[in-house]
Structure 1
Amino acid sequence: MPVSRSGRPTAALLLIGARLRELRAAAGLSAREAADELGTSASTLHRMEGGRVGLKPAHVRRLLTVYGREADAGSVLADVERASRPGWWQAYRDVLPRSPADLIGLEEHAQVIRFYAPAVVPDLLQTPAYAEALQRVQHPEDDDGRIARRVELLTRRQAVLDRAEPAPPVLWALVEEAALRRRVGGPEVMRGQLAHLRRLAGRPGVTIRVVPMRTLHTALMCGPVQLLRYRPAGLPDRVLLHTLDGTEVNEAQDAVTQYLIALDSAASVPSSAPITEWRTEWEDPGA
């Protein structure tokens, strides 16, 4: 079971490794003691717990026995088997951004997703019509078929918002007023996009706030940002920085904290309002 082609651990391996690390800690065993039971080195066990090597079912089953968690073997081994399969997004490599493909896996496994959108509506919150209009601007060289595949990829990513098990992620989005007043695809597309945002905001666990253009705050300097949080808690938060060249992933605690502070400061602007209370010129059918 390989890690991603970029050499970065896949989201599935990271989560399984973090769970094994928590179970070892709960059993009161050091890495050296657990590795001795497995017949390997402590460094190898650390790589397994860090998602940096593939996991063999026999090794996982042995560790669970050592940790006294045989009852968890079925669910953990099922996760190991799923982690060995290529992600569904591999079929879209022809239109994937120039970023590690498993970024979508990181997104799919997150329990909390926070967005900051200074220029356009965040990907996961876009309607197909809005997404298509935006893709035509971002990829003017693409024909209709490739544009359709890009929108299809985005639509499949958005399925994370409707997943049944585990529960959908908690969403918190901070959108600049400029993103809602900028015409993408025309007034009809914008009316549909605003209505969609309001429907999403009506769901449990979804918060979408608008920051007026007249305000100045730290997050304005950082561009589009996505922060991901996971369970188990031993897996660090990650910040995804979206640029023209693709998406960069940073899990350094100092960097994550810096972006969290920037987003919190923007959200605390007194004039920020829920999307359900916001009005723009697009809502006038005659605009």
Structure 2
Amino acid sequence: MSTTSRGSAGKRRLLGEHLRALRESSGMTIVQAGQGIARSNPVISRIETGKRTPLLIEVKALAELYGADNETTAGLLKLLSEISDDGWWDAYKDVMPPRLANYVELEGEAASLKVFALAAVHSLLRTEDYLRAVLRATSPSAPKLQVDRLAAFHLERQSQSLLKPEDPLELIAVLDEASLRREVGGRAVLRAQLEHLVRCVEMPNVTVQILPYDKGAHCALSGSFTILDFPDPSEPSVAYVDSPGGNLYLQKSPDMRRFEKAHAALRGSALDGPESERWLRNALKEM
């Protein structure tokens, strides 16, 4: 594996080529590889085409899955060590759990997100104080420095996706009323969060729809989810579900039809854009 004349992009492509060759030699499909290391098909595809730098644990897992010998595995790991990843999130990898790093790389390549938030406001729409309150509640033993850096990470994530000057991420969010009534961080923090959402609905790339209590039961009472769509129409969309029991990346056609149908139904039941803005302004008046 001679790589002395290659830059990071070339080494990334070369590593992908080696991993693809190993997969094909093993007789595995991309689907089987993804299932074997708990990654989505698009993630495996991007690794093999050099569009994504794999994590150390992913290279080791793939090498083992494909039956690579020790010498081959060592060569793959050496090549990985020579790649300088330039993702903005690299500066936060010391505090980011691997599952979050994997998702953010996927989100960074998406053209649009269709999300449903049940228990709390979606992370791309949170204020700094709301972010900190969620982090403290979900990780009560985390040191203050870790909370501070994770909050900074999420704020930069918002900037890198929704606020970037060229081709910003399109966000279509349905927020259950439950996510807007819970006083995360206290009443003042919630009020500031609602004010922030009023500003968000004015962004051209952001759609916010509120699903009120009086709409009754709905198809997503079991939890929140995200659908990621990509610029290349040939690249399949991915449904992402984050839960205490693990993180799921789903891309099979039946799964995607189910999530797409669910999001469409939620949007159909929710208030439209202007009605949702009025709901937010009325909620602020009531506080």
TM over 0.5: yes
Q: Number of paired residues?
A: 221
Partner of 1:192: 192
Asked if 2 retains the 8 angstrom alpha-carbon contact of 1:112 and 1:228, the reply is yes
Q: Which residue identity is paired with 2:97?
A: P
Cα shift at 1:282 = 6.0
1:148 paired with 2:148, answer yes
1:108 paired with 2:108, answer yes
Q: Which residue identity is paired with 1:53?
A: E
* Partner of residue 53 from structure 1, selected from 40, 44, 48: 48
Gaps of 5+ in 1: 2-12, 18-39, 57-82
TM-score (norm 1): 0.68
The runs of at least 4 consecutive aligned structure 1 residues that moved more than 6 Å come to none
Partner of 1:257: 257
Asked if 2 retains the 8 angstrom alpha-carbon contact of 1:218 and 1:266, the reply is yes
1:170 paired with 2:170, answer yes
Structure 2 Cα separation of the partners of residues 234 and 241 of structure 1: 22
Q: Deviations over 1:100-131 (max 9, x none)?
A: 62310111121111110011000111000100
Superposition RMSD on alpha carbons, in Å? Answer: 3.2
Cα shift at 1:89 = 2.1
Partner of 2:5: none
Q: Deviations over 1:52-72 (max 9, x none)?
A: 43549xxxxxxxxxxxxxxxx
TM-score (norm 2): 0.68
Asked if 2 retains the 8 angstrom alpha-carbon contact of 1:226 and 1:240, the reply is yes
Asked if 1 retains the 8 angstrom alpha-carbon contact of 2:211 and 2:270, the reply is no
The 5-angstrom pairing of residues 193-212 of structure 1 reads 193-212=193-212
Asked if 2 retains the 8 angstrom alpha-carbon contact of 1:98 and 1:245, the reply is no
Asked if 2 retains the 8 angstrom alpha-carbon contact of 1:97 and 1:246, the reply is no
Cα shift at 1:251 = 1.6
Partner of 2:6: none
More helix by share: 2
Structure 2 Cα separation of the partners of residues 89 and 143 of structure 1: 20
Is the alpha carbon distance of 1:240 and 1:267 closer, same or farther for their aligned partners in structure 2, counting shifts above 3 Å?
same
